[in-house]
Amino acid sequence: MSDDRTIREWQDAAAGWRRWEPMLGSVSWPLALRMAAVAEVGPGQRVLDVGCGIGDPTLQVAVLVGPHGRVVGVDLSEAMLATARERAAALGLAHVEFMAGDVATMPLAPSAFEVVLARWSVNYLDDVVGALVRLRDTLVPGGRIAVAAWAPPEANPWLAVPLAALREIGIAVDVDATRPGIFQCSADGALARALLRAGLQAVDQERVRLSYFARDAGEFWRMLTDVTAGPLAPLVAGLDAARVDDLAHRVARGLGAYRTGDVLRIPAQAQLAWGRA
């Protein structure tokens, strides 16, 4: 996963994630709460959050474990982690630690955590099962793991609408669910099967409904094209101004169906699976 190009992409993405923190946080909080619930996060626990980005769900979990617990957030991008550390300091969460690393290769101490969380991170790995084995081994006996990925494109209009608009102007985007990327492990049961292959017990899986909130389509479009490690920004960057404007108008028309009063609430869904060591 952590080739130089991947690290560079997420480093470049960090500024966009920082600028759009409120919107990105608003879509993800229900998933963070549900992950904490199925993983039975509680006071005093030690939790590892893999692919924590700017600090989600790390910070929410840190509130749940309280000052006698410990939460470690790991991400490829130091620039992402800089924002995560700022957010933790602003909330007074001194029991949170952030470190840069690749979960596929970095040292992981055995039996070091009661809980491991991995939200929208294992789907970018070449060897999902191999990484899950490593994460299983860092759990105490009976420890819990919860992993999340996106559901298929048709359950995520926030991305399906822009992808359709790109196809209309002759640009195809790879959304192959069998290769590392945003939609790997998106099929129902895929994450659960990976956990079982990694030796986890009491495995289950469900979909979690989410919602992107935006004041208008223009704001949402700016977010999509500003978060540079996403699936759209590199493609849009190669278009001339007229084609970008045309694409933005097509996306705005497609998103119109999700207007509620004077705001947009655009549906999204995630896959969530969990198990015990």
Question: What are the DSSP E strand ranges found in the chain?
Answer: 46-50, 70-75, 96-100, 113-119, 139-150, 201-214, 259-260, 263-276
Given a cut of 80, whether residue 15 has pLDDT beyond it is no
What is the mean predicted confidence (pLDDT) over 180-189? 94
The CATH number of whichever domain residue 188 belongs to comes to 3.40.50.150
Domain that holds residue 68: 4-156+175-213+269-276
Mean pLDDT for all residues in the chain: 91
State residue 36's pLDDT score.
Answer: 98
Given a cut of 70, whether residue 216 has pLDDT beyond it is yes
Spatial distance between the Cα atoms of 26 and 212, rounded to a whole number of angstroms: 7
pLDDT digits (tens, 9 = 90+) for 125-140: 999 999 999 999 999 9
Contact yes or no for 146/272 (Cβ under 8 A)? yes
Is 86 domain-assigned?
A: yes
Given a cut of 80, whether residue 271 has pLDDT beyond it is yes
Is 207 domain-assigned?
A: yes
Q: How many domains does the chain have?
A: 1
Is 237 domain-assigned?
A: no
Q: Which of 21-25, 154-158, 189-193, 217-221 has the lowest mean pLDDT?
A: 21-25
Is 45 domain-assigned?
A: yes
Is 184 domain-assigned?
A: yes
Could you tell me the end-to-end alpha-carbon distance of the chain, in angstroms, rounded to an integer? 24
Is 75 domain-assigned?
A: yes
What is the mean predicted confidence (pLDDT) over 19-47? 92
Is 31 domain-assigned?
A: yes
State residue 257's pLDDT score.
Answer: 95
- CA 264, 266, 270: angle at the middle one, nearest 5? 155
Q: Which of 102-111, 119-128, 174-183, 262-271 has the lowest mean pLDDT?
A: 174-183
